[in-house]
Amino acid sequence: MLIRDKMTKNVITINVSDTLAKAEKLMQGYNIHHLPVLSGNKLSGLLSASNIERFKQDHNEEITQNTTVKDVLPPNQRVTTIMPDVSIEQAVMLLQNNKIGSLPVLEDGKIIGIITLTDVLNTFIDLLWTKKSRITVELGPEPGLIADIASVIGSFNVSILRIVMFPRPDQANCETLISLDTDDVKPIIEKLQQKGYEIRDYS
C-alpha cells in the first residue's frame, strides 16, 4: 500500500509571509493541526497548532494575530518528508521515530500531499474492521497452513475478504485475522477446530 493512495491530496498550505491569524483560521476552518509552509512553491517549514499555542502564551492577542508565520517557525527547522511511491509502513516508521504527527509528501521538489498519523490509523482500521464476520486463528510456522484454511473456508462457498497476520513477539506463532464474506461463521469455526486449529477470537 503506497503513500500516494492514502495521503490527503488537496493540501492546505500557508505562505511564510502570512499571519498567524490566517493560519489559525485555516486550521479551525479545515479542522487540521499542521500547515505546510511555502516560500514561493518550495516547502520551507511546517507550522503546527502547538507552535501557535506556545507563541500565544508569551504574547498578547494583537501581537499574535499580526505576527507572520516565518517568525514563529522553529529556527533551522528540518521538515521530515516522504515520497508518494513508498509504502505506508515507511510512513509509520518515520512518524514514530521522529515523534511527529504529519509528513508532507514531495514529488519533484513540490508538495503534492500530506499524510498524518490520523491517515495511518484510518488505514489500519480499514484493514482490520469489517461489516461481515471475522475469525482469528493461531498459526505456527509450518508451511501451507493458510492454503489449508482457505480450502476449508472455500468448502463453505465463502469468500475471504482480507487476511492480516500479527507475529507474536515471544514465539514463532502468529495470530491471523481472517475477514469473511458471511454472516454465519460458526460452521467454519467448527470445521477448523476439528482439524486442530486454535480459534482465538471471532465475531
pLDDT band of residue 141 (cuts 50, 70, 90) is: confident
137 & 62 share domain: no
Say how far apart CA 181 and CA 122 lie, in whole Å: 21
**Tens-digit pLDDT profile for residues 40-95:** 889 999 999 999 998 888 888 888 888 999 999 888 888 999 999 999 989 999 99
CATH code, 142:
3.30.70.260
Number of domains in the chain: 2
111 & 47 share domain: yes
Q: Which residue range is the domain that position 177 belongs to?
A: 130-202
117 & 172 share domain: no
Residue 149's CB: how many other CB atoms inside 10 A? 22
Residue 60 identity: N
Domain end point (choices 99, 124, 149): 124
Provide the grid cell at 54.
506556545
**Tens-digit pLDDT profile for residues 90-122:** 999 999 999 999 999 999 989 999 999 889 888
Say how far apart CA 101 and CA 184 lie, in whole Å: 40
Say how far apart CA 129 and CA 171 lie, in whole Å: 26
pLDDT for 58: 87
CA angle 67, 72, 75 (to 5 degrees): 145
DSSP for residue 131: S
pLDDT band of residue 129 (cuts 50, 70, 90) is: confident
79 & 37 share domain: yes
pLDDT for 137: 93
Domain end point (choices 105, 124, 143): 124
pLDDT for 164: 87
Q: Which helix (H) or strand (E) holds 200?
A: strand 198-202
> Does pLDDT of 36 surpass 90?
yes
SS3 state at 45: strand
Say how far apart CA 64 and CA 187 lie, in whole Å: 64
